[in-house]
């Protein structure tokens, strides 16, 4: 089996479950030694959702694929924990870190509790629960990772974000946080480019995470997204696996011309088309740039029903949609 990342060192934050778990599995399968982080079991989401996988299961699954995993329990909301994490990596790898994937996110429980509440109906510290780990921690990890990468004149930083950075999704704190992550990647890329280090934002589509499936079963997704149940179920049914993002990152990290993409927002579906891979079931998942899908999500069902499935929203269309002047 070809292992394109053999010998490389990667860090995936928030790898107990969901997208982080899928990314870690694919990086390990590709030959990288993967440092994986998550909160200690007594402090993780397993406390209230016992069916969720834990960090040690991610490590075991990587090892079952002949990969190497290093578990580091880390609360990414605590600066001292994050500092110790990077000190450990630097000591154990002789200062080498090839790939950082900023994925840690701690607000899902709060989203479920908030439902579809408006920002003014929530306590102000809801902002911190969403963006302390999901935004601020990404910057801190980026600082420590870049310090190691600059010395070697090589590296890749991937910040996981979403289309919530483009238009309203979930709530105010979420959208502002994702928009900031996107801008952070672009600005980090400017300062890292002279050192041959790439920094990109990755937008997965709808992902069939463990939590998404639990929320679908409990009819919570429509409430949180403010869409009807039929559309919510359709979104999950056509969703990506948690490993699709991992396949995308392996493809990027293996590309000798990666620096041409630095600073950009990259969509998992687009990466799959470019590098010619499919999801783990051998199929392509839903395409967020499909015109029909976008119209349905915006509530224009009748217009969507008349729209050919082959039409895609051009990237310039996404770019223009982000403007706030008109």
Enumerate the active-site residues. Answer: 174
Residue 218: how many other CB atoms lie within 10 Å: 10
Q: How do strand 99-102 and strand 9-12 relate by DSSP bridges?
A: parallel
C-alpha to C-alpha distance for 298 and 296, rounded to whole angstroms: 5
> Where would I find the H helices in the chain?
18-29, 55-64, 79-92, 108-114, 126-131, 137-152, 172-192, 210-217, 221-225, 229-237, 244-253, 268-275, 291-297, 301-306, 315-321
C-alpha to C-alpha distance for 112 and 105, rounded to whole angstroms: 14
Q: How do strand 99-102 and strand 265-267 relate by DSSP bridges?
A: unpaired
CB of 246 within 8 A of CB of 271?
Answer: no
Taking alpha carbons only, the member of 84, 76, 79, 68 closest to residue 105 is 76
Q: How do strand 68-73 and strand 99-102 relate by DSSP bridges?
A: unpaired
What's the full length of the chain, in residues? 326
β partners of residue 148: none
Q: How far is CA 321 from CA 126, 167, 168, 200, in A?
A: 27, 8, 11, 20
């Amino acid at each position: 089996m070809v292992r394109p990342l053999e010998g490389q060192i990667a860090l995936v934050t928030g790898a107990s479950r969901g997208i982080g778990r899928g990314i870690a599995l694919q990086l390990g399968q590709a030959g990288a030694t993967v440092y994986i982080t998550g909160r200690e079991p007594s402090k993780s989401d397993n406390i209230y959702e016992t069916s969720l996988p834990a960090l040690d299961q991610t490590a075991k699954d990587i090892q079952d694929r002949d990969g190497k995993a290093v578990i580091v329990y880390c609360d990414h909301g605590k600066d001292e924990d994050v500092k110790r994490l990077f000190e450990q990596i630097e000591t154990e790898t002789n200062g080498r870190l090839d790939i950082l994937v900023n994925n840690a996110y701690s607000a899902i429980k709060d989203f479920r509790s908030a439902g579809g509440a408006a920002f003014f109906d929530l306590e102000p510290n809801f902002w911190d629960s969403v963006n302390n780990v999901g935004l601020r921690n990404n910057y801190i990890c980026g600082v420590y990772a870049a310090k190691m990468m600059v010395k070697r004149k090589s590296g890749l930083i991937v910040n996981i974000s979403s289309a919530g950075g483009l238009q309203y999704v979930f709530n105010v704190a979420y959208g502002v946080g994702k928009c900031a992550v996107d801008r952070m990647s672009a600005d980090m890329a400017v300062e890292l480019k002279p050192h041959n280090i790439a920094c990109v934002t990755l937008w997965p589509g709808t992902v069939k995470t463990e939590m998404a499936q639990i929320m679908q079963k409990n009819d919570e997704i429509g409430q949180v997204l403010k869409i009807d149940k039929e559309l919510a179920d359709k979104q999950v049914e056509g969703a990506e696996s948690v490993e699709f993002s991992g396949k995308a990152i392996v493809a990027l990290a293996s590309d000798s011309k990666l620096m041409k993409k630095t600073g950009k927002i990259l969509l998992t579906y687009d990466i799959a088309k470019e590098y010619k891979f499919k999801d783990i079931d051998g199929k392509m998942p839903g395409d967020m740039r499909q015109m029909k899908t976008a119209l349905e999500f915006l509530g224009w069902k009748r217009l969507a029903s008349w729209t050919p499935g082959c039409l895609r929203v051009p990237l310039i269309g996404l770019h223009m949609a982000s403007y706030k002047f008109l």
